[in-house]
Chains A and B, each alone.
Chain A
C-alpha cells in the first residue's frame, strides 16, 4: 500500500509569488490533515478535511492560504501571495474513518517551502 505522498519536496519562491502544494493521501482515507513546522518549533495543525469537506480550518494563519480537496481524493494548499514567515515544512497526514482503536495519522515526507 502506497503511503502519503507530497509534491514538490522542496520549493523556493520569492516573496509575493504563489505556490501550490499537493498531497495524495493513502487510498481510502477519508481524513486529510495539513500541518506546518517552522524551524525548531512544534508541528502545528492547519486544516482538516473529511472527504471533500473542510471539517476544521481553525489553524489556517490567514486568508493567503487556500486549501481544496476536490472529489475527496488529493488536496492542494495554495499560498498567495507568499510572505517570508510562510517558510517552513508543510506536512500532510491522512487517516481512515474513525475506528475504535486507531487514532494515529500517517504523514507524508513534507514539502519544504522557502520564501526569499
Chain B
C-alpha cells in the first residue's frame, strides 16, 4: 500500500504561470517531507524540504506547503520556466538518517 501518493502523473503549465504539484501521505509518523526533481538519465536532485512543525517553506521560486491535518503537501513553482520541465517526486521520512518513501512522481511540462 502506497504511503506517499502523487495522483497526477502529469501537469502542463504555461511559462510564467504557477505550477502546483500535489502530494498526499497516509503515515502520521512522517516528520520530514522533501521534493526532488529528476531529469531523464539523471538521479533525483533535492529541491526543497519541510519539517512537520512548519506549514510553509520557501526557497526562491519554490514554496512547499504542508497541511498536517489533511496529510497533504504541495509544491508551488512561480513563475514557471521551461527549465523546470522534469519529473517531480514527493518523498517523506520519519526521522533523519532513515530511508525515504517516494511517490510515483509527476511529470511537469512548462510550455514556452
- A108 vs B43: C-alpha distance when bound (angstroms): 5
Interface size of A as a range: 20 to 34
- A31 vs B98: C-alpha distance when bound (angstroms): 9
Residues in chain B near residue A102, CB distance under 8 A? 96
- Convert B68-98 into 0s and 1s, putting 1 for each residue whose CB lies closer than 8 angstroms to a CB of A: 0000000000000000000001010101111
Do B42 and A44 touch across chains, with their CB atoms under 8 A apart? no
Say yes or no for A69: interface residue by CB 8 A criterion.
no
Interface size of B as a range: 20 to 34
Do A42 and B104 touch across chains, with their CB atoms under 8 A apart? yes
Say yes or no for B34: interface residue by CB 8 A criterion.
yes
Do A4 and B43 touch across chains, with their CB atoms under 8 A apart? yes
- Convert A45-88 into 0s and 1s, putting 1 for each residue whose CB lies closer than 8 angstroms to a CB of B: 10010100000100100000000000000000000000000000
What is B's interface to A at a CB cutoff of 8 Å? 2, 4, 32, 34, 36, 41-46, 49, 89, 91, 93, 95-105
What is A's interface to B at a CB cutoff of 8 Å? 4, 31, 33, 35, 40-45, 48, 50, 56, 59, 91, 93, 95, 97-100, 102-110
